[in-house]
Amino acid sequence: MAMQTNLSNASASSVDPAEIAKFSKLSDEWWDPHGKMAPLHKINPLRLTYIRDAACRKFERNAKSLGCLSGLRVLDIGCGAGLLCEPLTRLGAQVIGIDPSATNISAAKLHADKGHLSIDYRCTTVEDMDVRERFDIVLAMEVVEHVTDVGAFLKRCAAMLKPGGLMVVSTLNRNWKSFALAIVGAEYVLRWLPRGTHEWSKFVTPAELERYLGDLNLTVTEQAGVVYNPLADKWSVSSDMDVNYMVIAEEV
């Protein structure tokens, strides 16, 4: 019943109830590195390093220090079961992970408890958060391609930033290459993801994302593609932004 209430609240925001239901079904498999979330487990170290290094440059920290993010408040929007929240917490950050799926949040809390990690998980949307609760870092990782209104969603994300804060966004480009690789290849040929995980029409080009952020007085200061090497079975940062990509945005 809690899930039904949450879906009702989400319908008034940029969150798509169908997307919530889709990922709720996968919540039990979030922490299985060999299950349906295996691609996310493989890419997670790269995402974490990208976020950590950008934060350390911005806030003048030593990226090699175990507690390099100490004292920084981080909001992970669409956190799922906490794959990024947990390592960020271990680096010293005060992490708030939000997700509109009650089952995802339950899975996240259970796993954090097993690891004796203190993480503030909330079953909510960014639209329902108090804008007075500001953060040094706001993460929207693989989220914008699942919302109903990208502009409204990013506006709310930006409202959660402290002055001088940092936003990190990762998403999928929209072109025929991304359709071939991210949907046909990943969902139908390699079966990395369940069919229907993504809708190509919801993908966002780097130029579109930059315009959205620019309208919010945020400037893209860094951007990078993320590519997969099938021979090495490894993801890496690249100048190729045709499919997966990440951007750093801040007030300049």
pLDDT digits (tens, 9 = 90+) for 91-136: 999 999 999 999 999 999 999 998 999 999 999 999 999 989 999 9
Work out whether strand 244-250 and strand 219-229 pair parallel, antiparallel, or are unpaired.
Answer: antiparallel
Question: Which range, 156-170, 176-190, 222-236, has the best average confidence (pLDDT)?
Answer: 156-170
CA distance readout (Å), 109 to 104, 117, 123, 143, 208: 9, 9, 11, 20, 35
Both structure tokens of 154: 């990013």
Q: Which of 9-23, 47-61, 203-217, 219-233 has the lowest mean pLDDT?
A: 9-23
**246 in a known ligand binding site:** no
CATH code of residue 55? 3.40.50.150
Give the domain extent around 26. 2-250
pLDDT in tens, 52-62: 999 999 999 99
This prediction's pTM: 0.84
| Exposure of 104 in the CB half-sphere (CA atoms within 13 A) | 29
**73 in a known ligand binding site:** no
Structural domains of the chain, count: 1
**130 in a known ligand binding site:** no
pLDDT at 226 over 50: yes
pLDDT in tens, 178-208: 546 554 345 433 455 555 555 656 789 999 9
